[in-house]
Structure 1
Amino acid sequence: MQKILVILTCLILVCCNGQEPKRPLNKNQKMDKQNLEYITFGGGCFWCVEGVFENLKGVESVVSGYSGGHKANPTYQEVCTGETGHAEVVQVGYDPKVISYEQMMDVFFFLHDPTQLNRQGDDIGTQYRSVIFYKDEAEKARAEQALKTSEASGRWHGKYVTQIVKFEKFWPAEDYHQGYFDANPNQPYCSAVVAPKVAKFKKHYGELGMLKPEAVK
């Protein structure tokens, strides 16, 4: 009976039930470098998205945060209500000489189901929407093309609902969210939801030689 209760607990836990362990900032957070480009997107709980992108060759920084809403300096608890308009996102700094924008988009669409409106699995709400933020018209065109390419590939059945929105502001999430999966792999949500996504990602992109050496196990 106890084992069954533990399993059920894992299945119903969602990202907003995370604890607040004290920890330093994400190990991948570094000072800005002139050779880096930045992209901000959301595909469900940011623990999942961050846990994947930090393993890619060419990625120098991954910061979890909030974008797309109307409230300045939102807190996690406020965003979880869905009333601030923000999405849980990550802002990724990458070296375009090592990994291209199109490769980043391929990983993004591999990682989450872009046909689900305002949800990913049991994580339900506008804060979990699929969204790409663009900086200028050129990047908007690249995002639109990446969406069309992925949708046409048949990877996911159905029409994509991913929003492509002009970037306005990125608000970093609280410190304890940075590097959350690495620091808390046995937390119920992480072990039940994040870990399988990371494992699936590593298998596919490891075969393509796109993982950092330390991510290959």
Structure 2
Amino acid sequence: MQKNMEIATVGGGCFWCTEAVFQEVKGVKKVVSGYTGGTAPGRPTYREVCSGRTGHAEVVQITYDEREISYQDILIIFMTTHDPTTLNRQGADAGTQYRSVIYYHNEQQQEIAKAILTEMAAYFTNPIVTELTEIGTFYAAEQSHQNYYRNNSSQGYCTAVINPKLAKLRKMHADKLT
């Protein structure tokens, strides 16, 4: 990996939504939709993960330039663009594959994430249920799931679910966007 580049991995419901959010963030160089956190052997497929039987979460792996955006800011954007208080659900998407989760890559990320989760708790009426877990094997999702919003922005799910998330992102974090 290039100097100053870091990786963050988060899951906040459908990866199409989370991918679309982070593709607009300044300093983010690449966003890959994928799966992690499961126990089923082998490379999972979208269909298998959606069954809820593999234990995997839909996540995005974000490669970012730490000179342009901090890990703290990545997590604050993450926590404010999905509902971290609903267990295994984001809107109509329900199941463990849609859980709210931060996968840390090292001890420093773990400590920062703990602090952000504590800090953000004051902003929500209900308790935060976001998991904090060490990253395991990350599997990139099938090509049809990469850049989903950019390739399908007029599709019904995109207009009904992703557009409002992007509007919230643009309102709350305008100073962090490209």
TM-score, scaled to structure 1: 0.79
Q: Can you give the 5+ residue segments of structure 2 that lack an aligned partner in the other structure?
A: none
Alignment of 1:1-150 (within 5 A): 32-71=1-40, 72-150=42-120
Q: Find out whether 1:174 has 2:139 as its counterpart.
A: no
Query: In structure 1, how many angstroms separate the alpha carbons of the residues matched to 2:23 and 2:50?
Result: 24
- Alignment-mate amino acid for residue 48 of structure 1: C
The amino acid that maps onto 1:178 is: Q
Flag the structure with larger Rg. 1
Deviation of 1:34 (Å): 2.7
**1:192 matched to 2:141:** no
Counterpart of 2:54 in 1: which secondary structure?
A: coil
User: Could you tell me whether the CA contact under 8 Å between 2:71 and 2:109 is conserved in 1?
Assistant: no
State how far apart, in whole Å, the 1-side matches of 2:172 and 2:105 are.
Answer: 29
Runs of 4+ in 1 over 3 A off after TM superposition: none
| CA–CA separation in structure 1 for the residues paired with 2:2 and 2:32 | 15
CA distance in 2, matches of 1:34, 1:63: 19
Pairwise CA distance, 1:139: 1.7
Aligned length: 177
Q: Deviations over 1:47-74 (max 9, x none)?
A: 0000010111110010000010013210
TM-score, reference length from structure 2: 0.96
Q: Give per-residue Cα distances to partners, 1:129-182, cap 9 Å, x unaligned.
A: 000111222221111111111112x2x211100000011111000001111001
1:125 Cα shift?
Answer: 0.2
Q: Which residue of 2 aligns with 1:20?
A: none
Q: Distance in 2 between matches of 1:70 and 1:118?
A: 17
Q: Which runs of 5+ in 1 are unaligned?
A: 1-31, 213-217
| Alignment match, 1:162 | 130
2:17 alignment partner AA = C
Deviation at 1:33, TM superposition (A): 2.4
Question: Aligned runs of 1:196-211 on 2, under 5 Å?
Answer: 196-206=164-174, 209-211=175-177
| Structure 2 CA distance for aligned equivalents of residues 95 and 166 of structure 1 | 21
